[in-house]
Structure 1
């Protein structure tokens, strides 16, 4: 399970909208965390407000609570494959097919191959979007609030003497 600390900004029936907290000095995931540039994006400079995420809220966290949000590692791998591999494979397959179909008609043109590749890329992106939106209906693939920071954790197995 991959965990991240976040702040709840609003709640709705069974869900919470959160803003992930950024760690100083990068993500903290490896030895080069202080000099890593992979966490910064040029689009971060243009974004005026932090990115909000919708998560399951089984603990009834309230706005202003600091929470720990978790997501299954397998779900993250599947979403990464959908976001990167499916569009890339779509682009390559449709570009090759487009080149061959155009060659059957006697058209040998790189522009047709490029346009076919772009069509495959867009198709792969749309297919990835469709698959990911349908999988979001499954609770196994959704991020969930695991605990509220600062709230005592109840252990039903604790023995009272």
Structure 2
């Protein structure tokens, strides 16, 4: 389970909205001096807070409670493979398949295969958007309230 701390900002039936502070890994990266993301982070560009809807069965949670939320590791791995690996493999397969008909056919088939893979990813996302196994959950409330 991948865990993150956050603060409850809104309540829903069976769920809460949690505000998390985005952590940057730029400080430990060896390429931070020449990286555009590191520069944007240092300049403070972009939103530093993320808002996540998390499932919970704890009715005692209130706004401003500090909580630990979690996402199953296997869900993150499967989703990453679907979003990144499937379109890449489709792009390569389309390029190789079109190679027999020439360079233009290879480029066109690669683009078509990539577009189809993106549509498959979108279809899968919409079909599984409400799957509780793929949703972040509140693991526990933190006992001590921090000063905000």
Shorter-chain TM-score: what band?
0.7 to 0.9
TM-score (norm 2): 0.74
Aligned 8 A contact 2:7 2:67 in 1: yes
Aligned counterpart, 1:67: 67
Tell me how far apart the structure 1 counterparts of residues 119 and 22 of structure 2 sit (CA, whole Å).
30
Point out the structure with max Rg over C-alpha.
Answer: 1
Q: Which residue of 2 aligns with 1:148?
A: 141
Deviations 1:1-59 (A, max 9, x none): 11111122222222222222234xx45xxxxx743259x57776653463322221222
Which has the larger strand fraction?
A: 2
Listed as ranges, the gaps of 5+ residues in structure 2 are none
Determine the C-alpha separation between the residues in 1 that align with 2:79 and 2:38: 19
Gaps spanning 5+ residues in structure 1: where? Answer: 28-32, 152-161
Richer in helix (by share): 2
Q: Cα RMSD (Å) of the superposition? A: 2.7
Q: Deviations over 1:64-92 (max 9, x none)?
A: 22110011111111011111111111111
- In the alignment, which residue of structure 2 is the partner of 1:122? 115
Report if aligned partners of 2:14, 2:57 keep a CA contact under 8 Å in 1: yes
